Amino acid sequence: GAGVSQSPSNKVTEKGKDVELRCDPISGHTALYWYRQRLGQGLEFLIYFQGNSAPDKSGLPSDRFSAERTGESVSTLTIQRTQQEDSAVYLCASSLDSGGLGDTQYFGPGTRLTVL
């Protein structure tokens, strides 16, 4: 079956512009996660969706970052007034979310964002 897909694969924008990043989870996966990976670093958690609610937004770095999810499908991560420090690869993952701890997260290919 299809894996997690993300679009665009690359995005170059000018400082101050808004960007939208899209994630399509694996069909049937109710949990969806956004992570950020800065160059040469590990992944930082941003936000977690269970269905279309977000019980954990603790990783969003500022109020310029927001995310939404439609039902149990597509999610959009929006960054307003982009700054150069927002340049990173944004990775999306999904899991079955059986209700307990430990579900394996499967990752998409990421969106590489470059803010000039």
Partner 1 sequence: AQKVTQAQTEISVVEKEDVTLDCVYETRDTTYYLFWYKQPPSGELVFLIRRNSFDEQNEISGRYSWNFQKSTSSFNFTITASQVVDSAVYFCALMFTGGGNKLTFGTGTQLKVEL
What are the residues binding partner 1 (CB under 8 A)?
31, 33, 35, 41-45, 48, 55-56, 59, 89, 91, 93, 95, 97, 101-110, 112
Please say which residue, 38 or 81, places its beta carbon nearer to partner 1: 38
Report strand pairing: 19-24 vs 5-7: antiparallel
- Secondary structure (DSSP) of 15-32: TT--EEEEEEPPTT--EE
**Rounded Cα gap, residues 94 and 114, in angstroms:** 24
CB of 65 to partner 1, least distance (A): 15
CB of 19 to partner 1, least distance (A): 18
Closest CB 60 distance from partner 1, rounded Å: 12
Whichever of 52 and 80 has its CB closer to partner 1, that residue is 52
φ, ψ (nearest 5 deg) of residue 13: -140, 165
Tokens of 102: 């430990």
Pairing of strands 106-107, 88-95: antiparallel
CB-nearer residue toward partner 1: 7 or 44: 44
Residue nearer to partner 1 on the CB measure, 1 or 102: 102
Q: Beta-carbon neighbour count of residue 73 at 10 Å? A: 13
